[in-house]
Structure 1
Amino acid sequence: MSGAEDSAREHDPTPKRLEEARARGDVPVSADLLAAAALAALVLAGLALAPAALPRLGGALAAALAAPAAAPSAAAAPVTAAALWFLAPLLAAPVGAVLAAAVLQRAAVWAPERITPRLSRIDPLRQARHRFGPEGLFDFLKAALRFALLAAVLLWLGRRHAPAIALSAGLSPGQSAALMTRLAAEFAAAAAALALLSGGADLLWQRHRHRVRLRMSRQDLADEQRETEGDPAAKARRRQRAEDLARNRMLRDVRSATVVIVNPTHYAVALRWRRGDRGAPVCVAKGADELALTIRRIAAEAGVPVRSDPPTARILYAAVAVGQPVLPEHFRAVAAAIRFAERMRQRAGGRG
């Protein structure tokens, strides 16, 4: 990825992009943390099993050595059983720890795409860029730092126990073995703790690098929004068509209105009510400014009476939606408008 592309991808990845990457098996995972978990589990299992398993294994070996040479298989069976009793959980613990660490990192995903053979995975140029590029340099520095810290811990432990090690020459073989075992266990525990700390730091770095790699440009965000929500321009056109259809239907209903109440310059509300209707008058159309003028024009063409009542027009425009009945608190003013419309129709009929 070029520097220009890096600078263009300035936005954090969206949840959708992260989920798509996860479906492909592209998840941040720390191999160092997996190895550290295996080492820690191995050390803990060894410390837990050794006090009981080693004497049992030693006793089986001693019995096998003391057994008659004519029955080697019978002598070897207890040794094999004791070794398996010790080694089986000792080897199973790291496997379980690795699986648990993978689950905790949310790295356990089923992604067939990851196991599909691809030539790009064996591309020597790509491997060289990774090994000798910034990522390879960082991995090298990380490994060197981890080795230096481990050496420092070993040196510190060696200096700390130097007097005891010097005196071990005068101890019995059993005492020397116990001392060396204790020192080895202490060093292994320190190494496991250091590995876990290093693995945790590496996990944070892998997650950061993963998010940086999945960053999105402004065009990426626009493309994703278009995929998920549709083209904004097309949505605007569909919304405009829907509004036009609703507006045209509303204007057609003006011709069947009973009366149109207007504020002469701003508002127009068309109501429909017929004698015998049990419900309240219904608003069939309303509009402001140019739409109000259009409603008045259609009403005039259809012979629908128009009543000028600015306060009622303003209140009805704000309070009543198209297709909804007027509220009880407006009945008095609306009844006056309907009586006005009936008188106008009677006069028009009388003149006819």
Structure 2
Amino acid sequence: MAWLTLDLQFFSGEKTEKATPKKREDTRKKGQVAKSQDVNTAILLFFMFITFIAIGPFWQERFTNLYTHVFTEYVTWNLTPDQIHLIFLDIIFYIAVTVAPVMGVAIVAGIASNLLQIGFLFTSEPLQMKLDKLNPISGAKRIFSVRAIVELIKSLLKISIVGAVTFSVLWGSKDDIMMQAQSDLDSSLSFFGSTTTRMGLSAAIALLVLGVLDYAYQRFDYEKNIRMSKNDIKDEYKNIEGDPLIKSKIKENQRQMAMRRMMSEIPDADVVITNPTHYAVAIKYDESEADAPYVVAKGADYVALKIREIAQKSQVMIVENRPLARALYADIEIGQTIDESFYQAVAEVLAYVYQVDQKA
């Protein structure tokens, strides 16, 4: 008894195959990529607090100067609308110059973190308005989906870990914090600034570890979502290469058109050289078209028979020359001039045809 094995994936549509390069490119153009926002946040926080450490003295000097300037110069001005406007612009410009390094680092870190994960990608697809996003049923499915539950667990885990890390830094400095009541202003500011920076760096490192794990999960989830069934791969191949049935029909139509075009040239030929039954090659010599005789039609077996029939109806002379017919059929394409190696043989045939025409 013979058993027939069927691949049920073609019927069930189960997506078990890895995505093809075209599918990956299409999803990327739509903005669907494996990306962890936690990695961006962690890198941004890390470099921001590193910048705080690097420009701490600069900021201390700038804000001290601003404090001194406000309470030693601005308080002596007569507050008119023009003076208030001038003070406001002066302070805004001063603060903008002060925070400009941090803003620059934030922009660079944000761009670098995205390039690190997904490379350069610009697409407006996610910004397009889609009505299915307003569907309450689809929205409820997204809210109560497995992915939403995973995101909730991740958020709680991040809050717990980051909170634990920052609290441990504060708890380790609790004695020093209590002693700041007896310290002067500069010492207190320096202490709280360094403590805040340590808390930020510790939180950024913890968040970076979580971000790497989250990126691994996002990568896994992305690969799972873009999987394809065997039927999907088959349909994609058809879209790229074209349906084999349609391609065969197009080729058949092209062959028929070429055949009709070739047959229409036979009445203008000077001679048809035959095998006599297996091959037929129609030759034409026109000085205004080419420097040498050229092939206007050729064929074997049934096509050769049709060429001979059209030649007889059009009163085109048929000359039997087996070696020449076979060689021309094999070496010369339609519309191509004959090679120099055939000049002598073809010239003799044409000369014979012209002699017969003159006698007629």
Aligning the two structures, in what range does the TM-score lie when normalised by the shorter sequence? 0.5 to 0.7
Q: Does 1:133 align with 2:114?
A: no
Q: Which residue of 2 aligns with 1:173?
A: 183
Q: Which residue of 1 aligns with 2:9?
A: none
Q: Which residue of 1 aligns with 2:133?
A: 120
Q: Is the 8 A contact 1:259 1:271 kept in 2?
A: yes
Q: Superposition pairs for residues 161-310 of structure 1, below 5 Å?
A: 173=183, 178-179=190-191, 181-196=193-208, 198-199=210-211, 202=214, 205-206=217-218, 209-210=221-222, 212-214=224-226, 233=245, 236-273=248-285, 279-310=291-322
Q: Which residue of 2 aligns with 1:312?
A: 324
Q: Is the 8 A contact 1:43 1:188 kept in 2?
A: yes
Q: Which residue of 2 aligns with 1:53?
A: 59
1:247 Cα deviation (Å)? 1.0
Provide the rounded CA distance (Å) in 1 between the counterparts of 2:352 and 2:300: 22
1:122 Cα deviation (Å)? 6.7
Provide the rounded CA distance (Å) in 2 between the counterparts of 1:277 and 1:147: 84
Q: Which moved more, 1:249-258 or 1:235-244?
A: 235-244
Q: Which residue of 1 aligns with 2:41?
A: 35
Question: Structure 1 residues 344, 114: CA separation in 2 closer, same or farther (over 3 Å shift)?
Answer: same
Question: Structure 1 residues 275, 231: CA separation in 2 closer, same or farther (over 3 Å shift)?
Answer: closer
TM-score of the aligned structures, taking structure 1 as reference length: 0.68
1:250 Cα deviation (Å)? 1.5
Question: Residue 284 of structure 1 aligns to which amino acid in structure 2?
Answer: V
Q: Does 1:18 align with 2:27?
A: yes
Question: Residue 14 of structure 1 aligns to which amino acid in structure 2?
Answer: K
Question: Residue 330 of structure 1 aligns to which amino acid in structure 2?
Answer: F
- Deviation digits for residues 83-113 of structure 1, max 9, x if unmatched? 94697448745863576368745566445x7
Between the aligned residues of both structures, percent identity stands at: 23
Q: Does 1:7 align with 2:15?
A: yes
Provide the rounded CA distance (Å) in 2 between the counterparts of 1:17 and 1:207: 17
1:286 Cα deviation (Å)? 0.4
1:205 Cα deviation (Å)? 5.0
Q: Is the 8 A contact 2:13 2:230 kept in 1?
A: no
Give secondary structure in 2 for the equivalent of 1:14: helix
Give secondary structure in 2 for the equivalent of 1:7: coil
Q: Over aligned residue pairs, what C-alpha RMSD do you find?
A: 4.9
Provide the rounded CA distance (Å) in 1 between the counterparts of 2:69 and 2:296: 104
1:285 Cα deviation (Å)? 0.6
Q: Which moved more, 1:150-159 or 1:127-136?
A: 150-159
Greater length-normalized contact order (CA 8 Å, ≥ 6 residues apart): 2
Give secondary structure in 1 for the equivalent of 2:273: strand
Provide the rounded CA distance (Å) in 1 between the counterparts of 2:27 and 2:170: 47
Give secondary structure in 2 for the equivalent of 1:280: coil
Provide the rounded CA distance (Å) in 1 between the counterparts of 2:66 and 2:269: 106
1:259 Cα deviation (Å)? 2.1
Give the length in aligned residue pairs. Answer: 332
Provide the rounded CA distance (Å) in 2 between the counterparts of 1:277 and 1:49: 82
Provide the rounded CA distance (Å) in 1 between the counterparts of 2:97 and 2:53: 11
Q: Which residue of 1 aligns with 2:344?
A: 332
Give secondary structure in 1 for the equivalent of 2:298: strand
- Deviation digits for residues 250-306 of structure 1, max 9, x if unmatched? 223223322222233532211123799983222111012221222223334444333
Unaligned runs of 5+ in 1: none
Q: Superposition pairs for residues 61-76 of structure 1, below 5 Å?
A: none
